[in-house]
Amino acid sequence: MKYVLLFVETEEFEAELAALEGPDRQAAYAKVQQWFDDHREVITHHTKLLAGDTATTMRLDRDEPLVSDGPFVEGKEIVSGYAEIDVADLDEALRVARSWPACPVVEIRPAMD
């Protein structure tokens, strides 16, 4: 079954990452790369999204579509990337997500084939 893991950054996490320098920042990114390497047999696709302020949102619940700059919600958490995985069930998806070494929130959603 396919699941999408949505990686969600908080303001606190973003500030902590920005404060890292040199070797510490490289070590943080190396942990993420290792996670992808460790789970490559179940990851079918993944990407890092650009910052939320690069988003464009179109609202279609009006007479005319409304286009605005920014993410669909203003908030302290923002989806920063995702990975699609193909695993047996939700329990396995949870095991994969539990080991994510970066941002502190992972939303797990079943995906249609």
Whole-angstrom distance, CA of residue 105 vs CA of residue 42: 20
What pLDDT does residue 74 have?
A: 59
pTM score over 0.95? no
Options 3.40.50.1400, 3.40.50.620, 3.30.70.1060, 3.40.50.720; CATH for 2-111 is: 3.30.70.1060
Q: What is the DSSP letter of 106?
A: E
Q: What is the pLDDT of residues 15-74, one digit of tens each?
A: 999 999 999 999 999 999 999 999 999 999 999 998 877 888 888 888 998 888 876 665
